[in-house]
Amino acid sequence: MIAIIDYGAGNLTSVARALGHLGVACRITKQHDEIFASERVIFPGVGAAGEAMEIIRREGLDGVIRETIGQGKPFLGICLGAQIILEESEEDDGTPCLGIIPGSAKRFRSADLKIPHMGWNDISIARPHPVLEGVDSRAQFYFVHSYYPSPEKQEDVIAKTDYGVPFASAIGRKNVIATQFHLEKSGRHGLRILKNFCSWNGRV
Amino acid sequence: MLSKRIIICLDVREGKTTKGIKFKGNVDIGDPVAMAAQYYEQGVDELVFYDITASSDKRDIIIDVVEGVAKEIFIPFSVGGGLRSLDDMHRVLAAGAEKISINTAAVQDPDLIYKGAKAFGNQCIVLGMDAKKVEKTPAIPSGYEVYIHGGRTPVGMDAAQWAKRAEGLGAGEICLNSIDADGTNAGYEITLTSLISGAVSIPVIASGGAGEPRHLSDVFKKSGADAALIASMVHYQRYTVPQIKEYLSQEGVPVRRFI
């Protein structure tokens, strides 16, 4: 069973529907014991980092996420989930985040760019990863975000995308992988990555 | 590179897709869930459903449509028409829509944009805007006036000013429909689209007038639109999504490769 962490907002049902389509059992939950008992964990999310982190702390989910990751359980972050695993976000006047991967979420700053970065964009794989296996290099993915992950260490960058600046569109370390793009809204290539995650043993 | 999005619009009345000309004389053309699945398979980038059901007691049908669509397609889609409260928005989003589009309700209660953006995130709130060319006046300096009620009622507001205000209130995107071009198949209204695209820094979807692939290429090259809405050119099988994308690609417009 996959636990989709419920922090009261975002695209939780879309991710659950996509998993349902793949025939994978999942549960949207904020119950600590259910998350600990699950085989793997997904943290999806849209919305603002400040509010998300506030709910995560209030519900005691920060400790649960850290502990479950520490146990080596495969963990997937999507969109906001790729930002809150960093140490901090520039959003909401600076939001301290979970600090699983060193780095921060930064805001797009170019005056010529439409913000949010919304639509289908390319990714280029920086480091082969089991969860991205079999994905066509020409595939594009659906993005919608105003902040982007900026990990401190190059080795944590799994894929890059260009939007005015090159940024890390997939990051990961050990049993943690996170994509800034929406796997549940990126057609069959997104579903392929979700499917890969569902059978990943958490090792790279 | 970020691709220009091709968005197919389905007007849904009492659970059936319809198509009208200049907002009038709609005829039923199919089942929206089956059509959505077909366009998804063809590689469309996004879909939008407008509920044009007139009677309020049949409004819940759209929720069934949204749930049906959400099970079939895994690309973004938005829903508009008749959404007047946070509760209405929540129901559509919970049923599986990615975004909601508000038009008349936003003009009548601009705070709804702010409240919707705060509750669901800016990216969820699309301002739908129907605009018509009028004489320039001090109240309408751009010469484009906002209309509501499906393009029937002028509201005395300037389209560019309204776009900026909606952006400030938290709209994440603007779907801009030209009343003059809608249903003509003669091309998008480039001047209007450029005006609005230049007035805001959020994405703008051009709508109204698409009849041929070159109309999309024109609007992308000349107006700064980020996405283009199409309807009858695909609903009547005049073109397929791959044909349109192939044309745009040859014209040098970046589009999503469907592989």
List of chain A residues whose C-beta atoms are within 8 Å of the C-beta of residue B45:
119-120
Domain assignment of residue A203, yes or no:
no
pLDDT in tens, B110-123: 999 999 998 888 99
CATH number for the domain running over B5-250: 3.20.20.70
Q: Is residue A126 part of a domain?
A: yes
Q: Which two tokens stand for residue B231?
A: 């309807």
Give me the interface pTM, i.e. the ipTM. Answer: 0.93
A122, pLDDT greater than 80: yes
- Cα A36 to chain centroid distance, Å, stands at 19
Q: What is the pLDDT of residue B20?
A: 64
> What pLDDT does B21 receive?
56
User: Which of chain A's residues have a Cβ under 8 Å away from the Cβ of B201?
Assistant: 113-115
Q: Chain centroid to CA A190: how far? A: 12
Q: Can you give the pLDDT at residue B204?
A: 98
Q: What is the residue whose two structure tokens read 């320039």?
A: B136
Strand order in the sheet with A176-179: A26-29, A2-5, A40-43, A75-78, A176-179, A165-173, A157-163, A124-125
* Cα–Cα distance list, B136 to A86, B127, B197, B199 (Å): 51, 23, 19, 17
Q: What separation in angstroms does the CA of A69 have from each of A8, A53, A56, A100, A108?
A: 21, 17, 15, 9, 29
pLDDT tens sequence across A140-190: 999 999 999 999 999 999 999 999 999 999 999 999 999 999 999 999 999
Task: Flag whether A146 is in a domain.
Answer: yes
CB-CB contact of B150 with B203 (8 Å): no
Q: Assess whether pLDDT exceeds 90 at residue B82.
A: no
Q: Supply the pLDDT for residue A10.
A: 58
What total number of domains does chain A contain?
1
A65 contacts A5 by C-beta, under 8 angstroms: yes
Can you give the pLDDT at residue A20?
Answer: 96
Task: Please classify residue A21 by burial: count the beta carbons closer than 10 Å to its beta carbon, then call 0-12 exposed, 13-18 middle and 19+ buried.
Answer: middle
Q: For B85-112, what is the HEC assignment? A: CHHHHHHHHHCCCCEEEECHHHHHCCHH
| Closest CA in chain B for residue A186 | B75
Residue B11 known to be catalytic: yes
Enumerate residues 6+ apart whose C-beta is below 8 A from B22: B151, B179, B182, B183, B184
Q: How many residues does chain B have?
A: 259
> Largest Cα–Cα distance in chain B?
51
Task: Write out pLDDT tens, residues A78-103.
Answer: 999 999 999 999 998 999 999 999 99
| A81 neighbors A47 (Cβ within 8 angstroms) | no
Q: How far is B93 from chain A (nearest CA, A)?
A: 9
Is A17 in Cβ contact with B2 (below 8 Å)? no
Find out whether B118 and B107 touch, Cβ atoms under 8 Å. no
DSSP string, A73-93: --EEEETHHHHTTSSEESGGG
Of B2, B5, B74, the CB nearest to A187: B74
Amino acid B24: pLDDT:
55
Q: For residue A46, is it within any domain?
A: yes
Average pLDDT, chain B: 93
The sheet that has A95-96: what strands, in order across it? A95-96, A88-89, A103-107, A147-151
Q: Which residues, including other chains, have CB under 8 Å from residue B121's CB and lie 6 or more apart?
A: A9, A10, A46, A47, A48, B172
By the CB < 8 Å criterion, does B94 face chain A? Answer: yes
Q: Which of B47, B45, B37 minimizes the C-alpha distance to B10?
A: B47
Q: Which residues lie below 8 Å from residue B159, measured CB to CB, with a gap of 6+?
A: B129, B131, B142, B144, B145, B146, B176, B192, B195, B196
User: Contacts of residue A162 in chain B, CB cutoff 8 Å?
Assistant: 1
In B210-239, the residues whose Cβ lies within 8 Å of chain A are 226-227
Give the tens place of pLDDT for each residue, B16-65.
888 765 555 667 788 999 999 999 999 999 999 999 886 777 778 899 99
Which chain B residues contact residue A163 at CB under 8 A?
2
Q: Residue B245: CA atoms inside 13 Å, Cβ hemisphere, count? A: 20
pLDDT class for B159, splitting at 50, 70, 90? very high
Identify whether A204 is part of a domain: no
- List the catalytic residues of A: 79, 182, 184
Chain A contact for B37 (CB, 8 A cutoff)? no
**Residue A86's domain spans which residues?**
2-198
Is B71 strand, coil or helix?
A: helix
CATH number at residue A79: 3.40.50.880
Nearest C-alpha neighbor of B22 from the set B235, B209, B228: B209
Beta bridge partners of A140: A122
Task: Judge whether B5 is closer than 8 Å to chain A, CB to CB.
Answer: yes
The residue whose two tokens read 């930002």 is A83
Rounded to the nearest integer, the mean pLDDT of chain A is 94
Q: List the single residue in B2, B5, B98 with the smallest CB-CB distance to A163.
A: B2
